[in-house]
Amino acid sequence: DTTVKQNPRYKLARVGKPVNLICSQTMNHDTMYWYQKKPNQAPKLLLFYYDKILNREADTFEKFQSSRPNNSFCSLYIGSAGLEYSAMYLCASSMPIYAEQFFGPGTRLTVL
Amino acid sequence: GEQVEQRPPHLSVREGDSAVITCTYTDPNSYYFFWYKQEPGASLQLLMKVFSSTEINEGQGFTVLLNKKDKRLSLNLTAAHPGDSAAYFCAVSASNNAPRFGAGTKLSVKP
């Protein structure tokens, strides 16, 4: 099974409230990623886990948290959502880090 | 860090015509290159992966060219058909680094 699953598919959040997005894969991939995708923009890498090591991009370091309780699951956590967080959030996995990525269908987050 | 620029953002061609999408990148240490296809409502799916050692890669109905000197990657669809209508994304990575993406090209192939 080469499927990456994301939950929920759609999320509505209020400004200032927390948001938690979930991703799972059963391919035993060692690396899992989160990208933020806005219309007409490139998927922007937010962070990735290599095994249990979290790597966060410098410009989004303060805005996003993540956890990976086991090899299959990875979450993306926003402590206080702002309007600018409205976007599609894409989860992907690969093994090794520079190999082909398998993408989930995305979670569309709308912040009101 | 790596910057990837993809052109054009939109491309409309007739069935049977060729279509060319180009990406330029900045990191000279980039070694792995990818093209992904995303059909409406679907996930990104790998179309082709290219390693720095290979300049020409052929798939079914398309060719990927890598020009390391100019840091340019291109996807050439030789005879487009309506089923090729989708968004296409290039991605570039160096060893031990996560891939960075271009902004995508929405290709429309009209019968």
A102: alpha, beta or left? (left if phi > 0; alpha if psi -120 to 50)? beta
| A98 near B CB under 8 A | yes
In this prediction, residues A102-112 reach a mean pLDDT of: 97
Contact A89, A34 (CB under 8 A): yes
Rounded to 5 degrees, φ, ψ at A19 are -135, 135
Residues of B in contact with A55 (CB under 8 A): 98
Contact B25, B73 (CB under 8 A): yes
Measured CA to CA, the distance from residue B49 to residue A94 in angstroms comes to 13
In this prediction, residues B24-53 reach a mean pLDDT of: 91
Q: Which one is predicted more confidently, A1 or B2? A: B2
Q: How confident is the model at residue B51 (pLDDT cuts 50, 70, 90)?
A: confident
Least confident of A23-37, A82-96, B41-55: B41-55
Q: How confident is the model at residue B54 (pLDDT cuts 50, 70, 90)?
A: confident
Q: Quote the minimal CA–CA distance from B5 to chain A in Å.
A: 9
DSSP B34-102: EEEEE-TTS--EEEEEEETT-SEEEETTEEEEEETTTTEEEEEESS--GGG-EEEEEEEE-TTS--EE-
Contact between B89 and A103 using a beta-carbon 8 Å cutoff:
no
Q: Which chain B residue's Cα is nearest to A94?
A: B98
Contact between B97 and A103 using a beta-carbon 8 Å cutoff:
no
pLDDT digits (tens, 9 = 90+) for A63-92: 999 999 999 999 999 999 999 999 999 999
Nearest beta carbon to residue A42 from set B93, B94, B102: B102
Contact between B98 and A103 using a beta-carbon 8 Å cutoff:
no
Nearest beta carbon to residue A40 from set B44, B89, B103: B103
Q: How confident is the model at residue A59 (pLDDT cuts 50, 70, 90)?
A: confident
Q: Which one is predicted more confidently, A99 or A49? A: A49
pLDDT digits (tens, 9 = 90+) for A92-103: 999 988 889 999
Share above pLDDT 90 across residues of chain A, in percent, rounded to a whole number: 88
Contact between A42 and B49 using a beta-carbon 8 Å cutoff:
no
In this prediction, residues B74-82 reach a mean pLDDT of: 94
Measured CA to CA, the distance from residue B41 to residue B63 in angstroms comes to 25
Give the Å distances, CA to CA, from A96 to A16, A51, A108, B68, B80.
Answer: 36, 10, 27, 23, 33
| A43 near B CB under 8 A | yes
Residues of A in contact with B91 (CB under 8 A): 101
Nearest beta carbon to residue B95 from set A40, A98, A103: A98
Measured CA to CA, the distance from residue B54 to residue B28 in angstroms comes to 15
Measured CA to CA, the distance from residue B58 to residue A97 in angstroms comes to 24
Strand-pair partners of A105 = none
